[in-house]
Amino acid sequence: MFLKRLELAGFKSFADPVHVEFEDGVTAVVGPNGSGKSNISDAVRWVLGEQSARNLRGAKMEDVIFSGSEKRSPLNMAEISLILNNENSQLKIDFSEVAVTRRVFRSGDSEYLINGQQARLKDIVDLFMDSGIGKESFSIIGQGRVEEILSSKAEDRRAIFEEAAGVRKYKYRKQQSEKKLDDTEDNLSRVRDILYELESQVEPLEEQASLAKEYLVQREELKEIEAALLVFEIKNMHDSWMKEKDLVEEMENRKKRLESTLSKRETKQREGIQELKEIEGALEEYQQKLLKVSEETEKQEGLKELWKERKKHYVQNRAQYRKELETLQEKRADLDRVLEAEQDRLKEISLQVKETKKKLKETKSSLENLDENKEKKIEELKSVYIDLLNEKTSLSNEERYLQEQSEKTNQSIERQKMENAELLSSRVKEEKAFAEAENNYRVCQERVEELVKEWQDKKRRQEKRLKEFEKKETLYYEGLRHMQHLEAKIETQESMQQDYAGFFNGVKHILKERDRSFKGIDGAVAELIDVPEKLQTAVETALGASQQHVVVKDEETGRKAIQFLRERKLGRATFLPRSVVKSRLMAERDTDKIKGDPSFVGIASELVSTKETFETTVRHILGNVVIATDLREAKSLAEKLQYRYRIVTLEGDVLNPGGSMTGGSLQKKQASLISRQKELETLKSNLASLTKDTQKLEEELRSWKHKKQEVEKELEDLKTDGELERENERDAKMALEEKKLSLNALRDRLRIYDLDMQEAEQEQLKRKERRSSLSRQLKEKEAELEELNERISSLSESKVKDDSKKTSVQEQLSELQIQHAKQEEQESNINQTVHRLTKERRDLTAEIVEKDEANSLLEAELSEKTVDASSIDGELDQKRTQKKNYTEKLNKLREKKNGLQELQSSIDAEVKETSNQRQYLQEQLHEHEISINRLDVELDNRLHHLQEEYELSFEAAEKEHHLSIPAEDARAKVKLLKMGLDEIGDVNLGAIEEFERVRERFDFLKEQKDDLEEAKSTLLSIISEMDEEMTSRFKETFSEIQAHFQSVFQELFGGGKASLELTSPDDLLTTGVDIAAQPPGKKLQHLALLSGGERALTAIALLFSILRARPVPFCVLDEVEAALDEANVNRFAEFLKDFSRETQFIVVTHRKGTMETADALYGVTMQESGVSNLVSVKLAESKELVKSGSLREE
């Protein structure tokens, strides 16, 4: 078998249909980078079933479809056909030529065809299985595949050897066998669960069946005697009941007449009592009003007396205030006159003091002008003049120096400005380059952060989902186990229900035949009612054997059913014809007595639910049965009902009419007749809910597994992208650092120039300011020198004139100083007197104001209290009038009350007499009612006993059973038989038939269990054989590859040695494979420590070793020798040429040495942008082209 042809249409850059013919030997596909030559190897990989778009260098599968170019529109379909020569029938298909085709559409749909016929991906995989051809086999070695093989883990590298050993089909079969084993285990687990369930039933059912047979014998004898005795007692009781009933009716008529008379008198009595209450209420009201008015009158009188005393006090105080006010006002007038005289004297003396001060000042000024030291001042001014002349000379010298320095600095500033302009231009360029580098680095950082964050988020979500998956997986398997358990229980319950297990034999046959032989059979009572779970024990006890009574449409249907049982000797049954059965209810007055009692649960017939059609029948059975909370509380209800009704507790204890009690422990049953259907519905509901939840979990788990693969692939892609971006980020950071250093150096130079410029300009500014200051100081010094010269001349002339005036002015100054001192002392004394008088007047005025305000307040209070006194007198007259009116009204009400009390006493005596008569009659009536109720209950109990225990009505028992011995002897016999049945205890009458059915099913399932265990053993044996076969094949293949590896390595390297090592030699099913190599001239070392070229050549050596051990029909190599140097490429090419005698090679390459050894050459070009073309070159021409280098890589 070999590859004949490859047909491409619309695949990647091959827009037009292309046919590539292949011959034996080596076919090379060459072309420039980017021309699409590697799309040839991608096409072969894709048509063989590749599902990963990433392995095809795309993002999604639709990327393999031609996406269009500048001149061409996108295509909607890509198609590849691989045509193989199969004349040696290596492929298991009856064709000498096999064409495998794959199509994909832009809509996402895809197709597979084998020789033009529709196929599945699985069919493609099966076709090439064990042929050495496949997307993951050594028939295709793509770009980077060699490095991937050698850099993988030792455990992962095992897959290469497994493929070569051909154990994949055994691995697949083993997986199928393990799946079958899991299914067998599940089925076995289910059968075991059902067997466990049935095994727990077989032994108890066998015991119950044996006990039931013994019970039936004794029960039949008891039925014959007790039924006859019950008929005898029922007749006697009915006669007594009729007599008591007539007497009760007569007494009830007398009672009604008495109650009518009593009602009228009680009405009159209530009216009188009501009227008395109204009068007493009015008396109470007017007494309260009289008391209130009396208290208010006394209060007003007290206020009136208090006002008289206060008015007297106010008048006395007012006279006293007026007298004191007049005295104070006279004192203030005298003080005002004295103060005015003192203030006039103060003004006069103040004017004299001011005049004297003025004269003193003028005299002192004259004296100062006559200075004796003018000669000394003249000498001082001359000394100052000389100093000023020296300072002027120094300032002139400094001004000339500053002028010279300023000129030199101006020249330096001009040079610095020119250099600074050049630096600023360079800085603009550097800042622009730095901004670009900074932006590039920031973009790289953001991209890296985005990828890291995206990877972390996905990883975190994946880990979280993994935990949820593990929880849901646990729930899923628990749900499956629980479902199996429920299915087993449902199967058992349905089987029991279909067979009417637990029903009497006669009832069972009637229910089975109701749809075939009878019309009008409604069903057993247990089937027709729905009982709340908490009431099931109570209702089951209340019903007893009535659970199995059959409800029928009418009497005719019941007779036909009885005839059916009799003719076939199938047992007996009790029938309840709906047409004649009547409700049996408690008397309403009895129900009212117990309704409010906390221990009263309800009437049994009202606590169960049924269809409207059967309500009368249910009331017939349960209408007079009371349900109570417990036995202790039931006694209280029985006393209220005079022990006339049957009371059943929630625990199943019974308080019978008349006072007898039945109770104790109840044997636990598997499922009662009443609850069986409800329990089955509950089981089915639980199973449906559990199935739904389990299916939902299964869908979630399946979806999660698919999602997990997608996320893992996304994480790997993100990791690869992140590493690339990290590299870009490092490059961008280095470029940014270089630009930053260059820009900082330029900025430092500019900063230094700026500082120098600022310093020079500041220095110039200081010099300018100093020169201005010096100029100003020179002018000031010249002005000062001129002024000093004039002062010296003036002082010399005035010194002669002032000496004669000095003596006269000094005498005048002494007289004025004495006069001024006397005037100041006089002014101070008068001023103190004025201040003292002013303070006395201010204090006196404050006291007058205080007295005047107090007098005004007294006047206001006196006026207000006079108004209040008038109001008090008016209110006092009004209260006295009200008091008189209330007294008269009270006297009239007391007279009316006395008359009504006498009349009420007469009415009370009449009511009491009538009530006593009624009470006596009621007691008599109650005694007779108790007697009737007791007889009624006893009759009902005996009738109920007939129905419950023996499925007999009174009429049927009267006809069929006759008492042949005295009643007392019959009662003793019944007692002995019941004691015997009590010793036997509760029995399951359906256990006889149920035991046979369960036993038969148990034996059948046990056989199934044995068959499944045998199948399990067989599968385990098959898996073991698979393991042995895979181990043997792996070991054999590994040995062969290892043997070839040493020789191939030496051929490719020209010497050296290499070996393959197993990481776990004792476990050949899971062991990994390590590679050690020793190129010529080097020591033996692990593969990872070799150089890149050595690693690549070692990989190629391993590849050819595998191909030599397990030859493949053809092999596609995609630039596998890219990492080799020229010498190694030539050795590779020579080896490839030799190997092509055994295997057909298609090599995608751009290395000259490989091209030269090719038997055929195809060139891939891209003359039109985005569209690849294929050019076939003849061998002779190709060699010439290779030699000229026209096909070298562009």
- Provide the annotated binding site for ATP: 32-39
Using CA atoms, how far apart are residues 638 and 627, in angstroms rounded to an integer? 11
Neighbours of 169 (CB within 10 A): 13
Annotated binding residues, as ranges?
Answer: 32-39
Do the Cβ atoms of 110 and 26 come closer than 8 Å? no
For residues 713-740, b (16+ Cβ closer than 10 Å) or e, as one string? eeeeebeebbeebeebbeebeebbeebe
Using CA atoms, how far apart are residues 1109 and 869, in angstroms rounded to an integer? 141
Do the Cβ atoms of 1038 and 1060 come closer than 8 Å? yes
Neighbours of 1115 (CB within 10 A): 25
Do the Cβ atoms of 891 and 221 come closer than 8 Å? no
Strand partners, 524: 550
Contacts of 1145 (CB under 8 A, 6+ apart): 25, 26, 27, 1114, 1115, 1116, 1117, 1136, 1139
What are the E-state strand segments in 520-606? 521-524, 550-552, 575-577, 600-603
For residue 1115, CA distances in Å to 24, 27, 132, 160, 1118 come to 11, 10, 10, 15, 10
DSSP secondary-structure letter at 572? -
- Torsion sign across C-alpha atoms 869, 871, 877, 881: negative
State the amino acid at position 687 in one-letter form.
L
β-strands 110-114, 97-105: how paired?
antiparallel
For residues 527-561, b (16+ Cβ closer than 10 Å) or e, as one string? bbbebeeebbbbbbbbbbbbbbbbbbbeeebbebb
Contacts of 730 (CB under 8 A, 6+ apart): none
Contacts of 565 (CB under 8 A, 6+ apart): 506, 509, 510, 571, 572, 573
- Torsion sign across C-alpha atoms 12, 16, 22, 27: negative
- Torsion sign across C-alpha atoms 110, 114, 118, 123: negative
Do the Cβ atoms of 637 and 628 come closer than 8 Å? yes
Do the Cβ atoms of 142 and 1120 come closer than 8 Å? no
Do the Cβ atoms of 1091 and 1108 come closer than 8 Å? no
Q: If you write DSSP's letter for every residue of 252-268 in order, what string do you get?
A: HHHHHHHHHHHHHHHHH
Neighbours of 108 (CB within 10 A): 9
Neighbours of 345 (CB within 10 A): 15
Using CA atoms, how far apart are residues 612 and 590, in angstroms rounded to an integer? 25
Do the Cβ atoms of 116 and 124 come closer than 8 Å? no
- 190 burial (CB, 10 Å; 0-12 / 13-18 / 19+) is buried
Using CA atoms, how far apart are residues 75 and 1170, in angstroms rounded to an integer? 13
Using CA atoms, how far apart are residues 841 and 287, in angstroms rounded to an integer? 69
Own/partner pairs, 62-67, CB within 8 angstroms, 24+ separation: 62/104, 62/106, 62/108, 64/11, 64/12, 64/104, 65/10, 65/11, 65/104, 65/105, 65/106, 66/10, 66/11, 66/12, 66/13, 66/14, 66/15
Using CA atoms, how far apart are residues 139 and 152, in angstroms rounded to an integer? 19
Using CA atoms, how far apart are residues 1191 and 1194, in angstroms rounded to an integer? 8
User: Which residue's structure tokens are 């090439």?
Assistant: 128
